[in-house]
Structure 1
Amino acid sequence: MTDTRTFSLSRLPALATVGIFLVVVVAGFAIFAQGFWTPNNASTIVITASVIMIASLGQLLVVISGGFDLSIGGVLPLTAVVYASLTTAGVPMLAAMAVCLAVGIAVGLVHTYFIVHLKINPLITTLATMSITAGLAFTLANGQTLTVPPEAGILGDRAIGTIPWHVILMIVLVVLMHLVLAHTLLGRRIYMVGGNPEAARLAGVRVTVIGGSVYVFSGFFAAVAGIVTASQLLAASGAMGSTITMQSLAAVVLGGAALTGGRGSVPGAVIGVLLLGVIANGMSILHVPSFYQQVVTGLVLLAAVTLSRLQERARRSG
């Protein structure tokens, strides 16, 4: 006789699972957290989650390819500090942004060399670069919080109607990355490399090029997130973004990405980011201390990974 639980698990998509969970969490907070179910609060959730979403796009590409990037937590504060330093020194805003993006891309190229060409473990490499970039951020800021000139905070304080520019930027990047992954040859090859690198190589895919490109993209998106953060806060320091690495990893895993590679999607990452944002926002309204929020986030991530493993086993046995 077929095990009904196994049957349902094997056929329940991860995206549908986290989507249902998101609806349940929203409904729960709407009932118990006064002020949660309002347009203003929904806007707050989206605005707060925008930086995590941008960083998660790069993390998603790396995870699909079979790796992961811990350096986001160092690249974000470094680029934020660089942006603040340059704009305060009178460098034009666009030029400062270009320098920050170049910093992010340079970190991605370093990862390409060590991880793809020298075959050093991604955990060790990106942990090292996270430490280096975070240390550089503190050094450049001299341990202080730097200010960003108001005119350089265009991504944080300008809006089209009621929609902030950085939210529009986030939406554009989300749509573009979804199109790349779902409808382009590059996207298909990223999935191939993550699913089976040797088979991808035999099929003519340049595994080293694809494997390196995702780290470059991740560095780019982390730099964008750093610029947006500095623009929002009109400030930058080496301490900002300390949880962004875990949040980005949690979001893509919650959205159905497999840490073994070959699986994941932009819509899934979006739902994962929204779930984390809703949990943090709802618990703040309920005045739950921040350290309990971290515990809940960890438990949700553990539950998602456990469910993903159960689904994988169910599919294999079915």
Structure 2
Amino acid sequence: MVKVGIAGAAGYTAGELIRILLGHPQAEIVWALSGSQAGLPVHEVHRDLVGDTDLVFAAAPDFAAVDVVFLCMGHGKSASFVEASDIPAHVKIIDLSNDYRLEAPGNDFVYGLPEMQRAEIKSAQHLANPGCFATAIQLALLPLAAAGRLKEVHIHAITGSTGAGQAPSGTTHFSWRNSNISVYKSFTHQHLGEIGQSLKQLQPDFEAAVNFVPLRGDFARGILASVYLDCDWSLEEAEAAYDTYYADAPFTFRSKAPIDLKQVVNTNKCLLHLGKYNGKLHITSIIDNLTKGASGQAVQNMNLMFGLEEGSGLYMKPSAF
């Protein structure tokens, strides 16, 4: 059994992580750390877990008792936690924040997108889990980058309210979000850095713009990305390239039929659909931002890091209705 510690355990991604790990046949949660909720039963905060666990939020970590620590903390807080903690060298770290995703001197965290970095993830000691928008968008583009076919990219992508975290804000409370939609961080979203880093890794000469307009949706969870670019492949050539690239990916699939968000909510899947219109290739990509976009992908990476079956604990049915 892989012994697990979770830091920042009171938020949305941690709640999903706990839910997944409680059903994982080869993992055991040893402690779930939360400074604000220490001493409370986990199910009093993550109320969907009533009856599933007697775990109590811990006030301090016990690194000697675990094999891996998941950091489910806000951006900027993971790095501070790591720097302030005496984490033994043998304990693996999986960070779900933005703190270690970009290459930098002294950063030994492997970027954890399994569809691109599977071999590197298997030997990683420290891993940076990709962002949710970044996952959906990269999976839409990786086969093109691998074939050297990327040109200027245009993206509109919409996310559910859980993507903004558990703490309420002016743009997440119900009366504002309900029956509403809005654009935010146009062309400046923080996930553009990791997207560009991955695309250049596969296509080193790629210098064109990645034009990304994110939208807030009036639903709780999920991401739909609509991506298009000029492409001289036929639709059949593009479909063949995507099928080949993802042939060994247990959770990423091309759908022949048009796709909708409910097909992936509550799963670790990414579904892709391709279309060709007047010289432009259009890719629709859908994921659940809390599973494939966060905690599910983190468990997928844990499985790879510990030599387990990649999909262990992650075969979940979508909430289709």
TM-score by length of 1: 0.30
TM-score by length of 2: 0.30
Higher relative contact order (CA 8 A, sep 6+): 1
More strand by share: 2
